[in-house]
Amino acid sequence: MENQLLNKLNKEQKKAVEIVEGPVMAVAGAGSGKTSVLTNRIAYLIQEAGVSPYNILAITFTNKAANEMKERVQKLIDLPMDNIWISTFHSMGAHFLRREIDSLDYDKNFQIVDDQDTLNIIKNLMKKHNYDLNTYSPTIISKLVGNLKAKLVSINHIDQPIRSMIEQLYPLYNAYLKDNNLVDFEDLLVLTLKILQDFSGILKRYQEKFQYILVDEFQDTNNLQYNIIYQLAKEHRNIFIVGDEDQSIYAFRGSNVGNIKKFAKDFPEHKKIILNQNYRSKDTILKAANSVIKNNKDRIPKDLFSNLGSGDKIIHYKANTDEEEAYYVYEQIRKLRRENTPLSEIVVLYRNNAMSRRFEDIFLKYNLPHKVVGNLSFYKRKEIKDIIAYLHLLINSGDDYSFSRVYNTPKRGVGNVSFANLVEYAEENHLKLFDCIGVNHSPLSGKAALEMTKFRDLITELKQGLETRTLLDTYDLLLDKSGYKEMLEKDDSTKDKTFQSERKLDNLEEFKTIILEKVSDYERDISNYDKLATLLNDLVLHVEAEDNEEHEAVSLMTFHSAKGLEFDIVFMTCLEQSLFPAIRNGFDAANNIDEERRLFYVGLTRARHQVYLTNCKTRFMYGRYMDNLDSQFIDEIDEDYLDKRGSNHVRKSSFERVHSSKNRPTVKYASYDTEEKQIKVSDKVNHKVFGRGMVVEVKGDLVKIAFSVPHGVKTLMKDHPSFKVED
């Protein structure tokens, strides 16, 4: 049996599998084969130790991981998995409650409501108790109710007047669920723990059933999950946890990295095993990761190592601007592609989703296949599509599609019936929707008529003022006077923030950058109306290009989304102080930096072969220039493992690009580490924009190329990817 289960495991992995009795803490570093340890341990308990499958409980965090664990265990022991509880926490809770919820005076045939059901219940309660749904967001109230139930937030941390509303609605919501035999997702754990704590007979029965408990990703457990596991394990104490403090990155979701230390206190007789042999990455990557994460205090020390070879140094490229940074990433990917690295094995990571936009633009410009993972691409996000619809109305108030998208966003009290009346009136009278507002015999009345008149006046006023103010000023006025910005600020105003990687407000700020950059490329003597119309047309073409996504593509994602994944090549971008580490309200500085450092560590350890770190001196983001210091995490990497390039060292050459807008300074771009084109006078070339031409002069890094009318002679960088030399 040992040949089948243990011969592929290293010494520490075998130890983790073979200790049958008592609590065990396996500290499993990134890429250390923890899934193999878990599955082999389950098989070992059954085959070698004679433990009944009925007495085993294995918990992980995703259905995908649970299914994978079942499949791998079944392959090892060739037994049906029906008697082993291998599931997520919530699935375990649902299974438990189907058997035991009647002890709380529920019927066992309860129905589980999802987030949308919860939102609808909250909305109805708010209406019943005369709360204005335009003033108070039902989505935020629903989220607060859930977090309060799961004890992820305290009622004392919610500001007034929201607190008073929650104090009234929270018990009403729970009573509604109970009266209708409903449970929500939080109840699956909350009610499970309540039964285990309040009914000793039931607790004893399940302690006897689950004599051997295994928990994956223990660093991601919250307090509620920990308490459930503790109740079940405290009698027989045969609990095996796998976790890594250094990969705890979900504090904003309620996970408590301190649960590992709590486990050590509650089970002081535990045996600790360090799994630090990595089977994913080259050793240089691991040494760099070790040199960073050691700066976190109060952690279980471990140094990852690998037998896969040392590998190349980590490349740190510092650009002058964010545009140069994105272009450098593109150039390196182009080079890797020529060297036969599959695009699917390359990932570009950033701290929050608003940072994806620059890379998306460059990749689209040069037709590099890519996909945004874990989120919509920048131009497909709801808030961006909404604000583009508003801008379309400034160009053409007769755009019924754009009107239909934003007439009631934010909420203006124009319900479905009122809008249907407006549409019917427009069709009968062959009018545009916008032109039906305020007419004689209007199809609207009351508040709907008043609010639509305000909406019409807003669009009209902004359109009439287009030429008297800058487009950026028009944009800011639109955000303010439409109420869109206020709507998002209300959604973001409670202390119960989820600390998501991107906020919609960030994306709307980043749209200012697009306005400034695009408009700076247009002719100065055209009207603001024409500039805005051209900008919107450009964005339509941009989205159309995105829709032609290829399967073989570079992945773009946040560091959080990359957890659990691995790639041959990892680009870690936008590594500047205040961007990464990001400072989050509600966290003390020390805990915040430790969490951010763990996130950086996770990014490093996603890579098998090569890591690129990139940042820039001057970043044009959120419509303004930012001069940030390098991320402190770069400085924490031992210099022996870094290859510094770009403005980190003296460059061989540079070129200047002067933007037409007086708001943008001359920007200097460093030369890139690309394959140099062999170009000589009289060579024929093909340019993506200017078409075919002939080289008439070569001077250093610059070439002059004669194109046909109307383009004429152009001076270009010799290594620029926009043209190719014809054979």
| Annotated binding-site ranges for ATP | 28-35
Q: In angstroms, how far is the first alpha carbon of the chain from the final one?
A: 63
What is the token pair recorded at 418?
A: 């009122």
What is the SS3 assignment for 39? helix
Q: How far apart are CA 700 and CA 708, in angstroms?
A: 24
Strand partners, 243: 27
Tell the residue number behind the tokens 């950059």, with chain if given.
517
Q: How far apart are CA 569 and CA 333, in angstroms?
A: 9
Candidates 119, 118, 101; CA nearest to 110 is 101
Q: Catalytic amino acids?
A: 34-35, 216-217, 247, 606
Tell the residue number behind the tokens 């002719």, with chain if given.
523
Candidates 169, 160, 161, 164; CA nearest to 142 is 169
State how far the alpha carbon of 532 is from the alpha carbons of 161, 528, 535, 540, in Å: 41, 6, 5, 13
The beta strands (E) that lie in 292-376 are given as 305-306, 314-321, 346-350, 370-372
H/E run at residue 473 = helix 471-481
Query: How many other CB atoms are found less than 10 A from the CB of residue 40?
Result: 24
Q: Are 142 and 118 in contact (CB under 8 A)?
A: yes
Q: How far apart are CA 338 and CA 176, in angstroms?
A: 62
Residues belonging to the binding site are: 28-35
Q: Is 639 exposed, middle or buried (0-12, 13-18, 19+ CB in 10 A)?
A: exposed
DSSP-assigned letter for residue 711? T
Query: How many other CB atoms are found less than 10 A from the CB of residue 648?
Result: 16
Strand partners, 212: 56
Q: How far apart are CA 624 and CA 632, in angstroms?
A: 23
Amino acid at 93: G
What are the b/e assignments for 418-445, b being 16+ CB within 10 Å? bbebbeebbeeeeeebbebbeeeebbbe
Q: Are 291 and 601 in contact (CB under 8 A)?
A: no
